[in-house]
Amino acid sequence: MFNKNFKLVIAGLIVIASVWQFIEGHIGNGIMLILLSLIFIFLYFKNEMILMAFLRLRKQDFPGAKKWLDKIKEPETALTQKQQGYYWYLNGLMLSQTNITKAEKYFKKAIKLGLAMDQDLAMAKLNLAGIAMTKRRKREAQMLLTEAKKLDKHGMLKEQITMMKQQMKKI
């Protein structure tokens, strides 16, 4: 909702107000203001619109998630680099069912910007491998599958990877 720098300014102003409350002797108000500033600092690192989009995706509500992502007007200025990666990753997930060419572009952009969790990176590479397979680029798909397998440390994508390898044998 707010620009990333604006969130830090608000947090700084609230911390200054809390110090003032401590000096005045209102300890409870100061503690409450410190806790309030922590919310803005948390939202600097984890964008609220992306969090809401993830919650919608957990419920398989793609239009709802798209609605939350569309509220971010300029991702380059409003988000940090990792948040931009997740922004493009989520857009790629939603477009992968309708427009694979655009989804491929978004997944590549997300991988380039970086994703915090290896599981998300493995999922992005697995989706890219599926897109490469549909476009008959077997070598690229094989390479992406091996990278996804290395990143999938918990084995959550094991079934999808083996299924993709079986389909690749048919090509």
pLDDT in tens, the chain (171 residues): 567 889 999 999 999 999 999 999 999 999 999 999 999 999 888 889 999 999 998 998 989 999 999 999 888 888 889 999 999 999 998 888 888 889 999 999 999 998 888 888 999 999 999 898 888 888 998 998 888 888 888 888 888 888 888 887 777
Cα 54 to Cα 24: distance, rounded to the nearest angstrom: 42
Measured CA to CA in angstroms, residue 70 lies from 16, 53, 107 at distances of 34, 10, 17
Instruction: State whether the Cα torsion 157-161-162-164 is positive or negative.
Output: positive
Q: Own/partner pairs for 97-100, CB < 8 Å, 24+ apart?
A: 97/62, 100/131, 100/134, 100/135
Q: Judge if pTM exceeds 0.85.
A: no
Q: Which residues contact 99 (CB under 8 A, 6 or more apart)?
A: none
Amino acid type, 163:
M
Measured CA to CA in angstroms, residue 1 lies from 15, 22, 45, 50, 76 at distances of 21, 30, 13, 10, 14
Phi, psi of 104 (to 5 degrees): -60, -45
Radius of gyration over every alpha carbon of the chain, rounded to an integer in angstroms:
21
